Amino acid sequence: METAPLFDDIAHGPAGGAAHWLKTSDGLRIRVGHWNKSNAQGTVLIFPGRTEFIEKYGVTAKALHDRGFASVVVDWRGQGISDRMTPNRAIGHVGSFRDFQYDVAAVIAYAKAQNLPKPYFLIGHSMGGCIGLRALNEGLDVQAAMFSAPMWGIQMSVALRPIAWGLSAVSRQLGFDETLAPGQFEQPYVLRAAFEGNALTNDRAMFETLGDQLRSYPDLALGGPSLRWLNTSLREMHRLNQQPSPRNIPCLTFLGSNEAIVDPTRIRARMARWPKGELRLIAGGQHEMLMDSAVQTEMFDAAAAHFEAASNAKVIA
């Protein structure tokens, strides 16, 4: 297994982290990193959101490490320093949302190869929540899941929705689906937006850190999504919305009252029909609650207790 770079100077994760290059079953090279822990209670599979990368989750890995868990994080295809999907690496693109399941399979194989301790648990943020729900529905071997602002729907006006569906579908038929979706930019959001009025976090220091990470390592940067990404994501969210929630996976989901990116209605509806699910609302929370120092401790304490409870229930059963 070939060693890949892990940029510890911007990750601020636990000591002893490592990253490797993996080849997915459909032939792409992706990067996966992990932080192990002696006598860990298990390993948390961290599924990042769109545009994100391993180092952004160093602080998450540290929080989990302090609570007794190892962790593994992936650069999804098309982002981080995994293989990009278009010649213009600034555009977020994927052939099909189902393709991310090849990456999930590679992550599981990696966790086993690195002897990361079982049981496995899942944390999925934003797009990672969409990928994670698909993986759970297809039998992902985890004892419990926690989602942060999961992308089970995208906020979009009623008037814009049919245009998004129609234009993105036509782009595939006419061959311009690798172009940016309307209203999107090649420059990453955290490098072009001011902290005041941003849609991500209430934490100024964290917002500045997110920008500094990309300024330090520009190859990690990613701009807006392509029309094909938009189309295949809409299709995937529609399909998932038609499916029931996993009956045997305890799930804890966090949603901020000031969420402005994903669709809170879809999240509330999903959690209302999750047999072992709980939805927790964070007053004033925005999209990046895992990156907000005001609520991080609450969320990670709750996640650790949730995972521990699932493990104990499994042992008793």
In this predicted model, what pLDDT tens digit does every residue of 16-45 receive, in sequence order?
999 999 999 999 999 999 999 999 999 999
Mean per-residue pLDDT of the chain: 95
Average pLDDT of the residues in 121-140: 98
Using one digit for the tens of pLDDT, what is the confidence trace for 235-247?
A: 999 999 999 999 9
Q: Which two tokens stand for residue 242?
A: 């038609």
Element (H, E) at 192: helix 189-192
The C-alpha atoms of residue 149 and residue 96 are separated, in whole angstroms, by 22
| 136 Cβ contact list (under 8 Å, min separation 6) | 122, 142, 145, 246, 249
Q: Which residue has the tokens 């797009």?
A: 127
Which two three-digit tokens encode residue 47? Answer: 């599924």
* Secondary structure (3-state) at 317: coil
Asked whether the whole model's pTM tops 0.75, one would answer: yes
What phi and psi, each to the nearest 5 degrees, are found at residue 175? 85, 25
Determine what percent of the chain is predicted with pLDDT higher than 90: 91
The residue extents of the domains of the chain are 3-312
263 versus 163: the higher-pLDDT residue is: 263
Task: Report the topology of domain 3-312.
Answer: Rossmann fold (3.40.50)
Residue 89: CB atoms within 10 A of its CB come to 18
Dist. CA 167–CA 185, nearest whole Å:
17
Cβ atoms within 10 Å, residue 205: 11
- Please report, in angstroms and rounded to a whole number, the separation of the first and last CA atoms in the chain: 37
pLDDT in tens, 217-237: 999 999 999 999 999 999 999
- The yes-or-no verdict on residue 176 having pLDDT over 90 is no
Q: Treating both helix axes as pointing N-terminal to C-terminal, what angle do 227-241 and 160-174 enclose, rounded to 10 degrees?
A: 120
> How far, in Å, CA of 53 to CA of 221, rounded?
9
Closest by alpha carbon to 152, among 238, 251, 275, 279?
238
Tell me the two tokens of residue 223: 């701009």
85-117 pLDDT per residue, tens = 999 999 999 999 999 999 999 999 999 999 999
pLDDT range class, residue 162, cuts 50, 70, 90: confident
Residue 317 has pLDDT above 60, yes or no: no
Question: Cis omega (within 30 of 0) on the bond before 48?
Answer: no
Which residues fall within 8 angstroms of residue 157, CB to CB, at 6 or more apart?
none
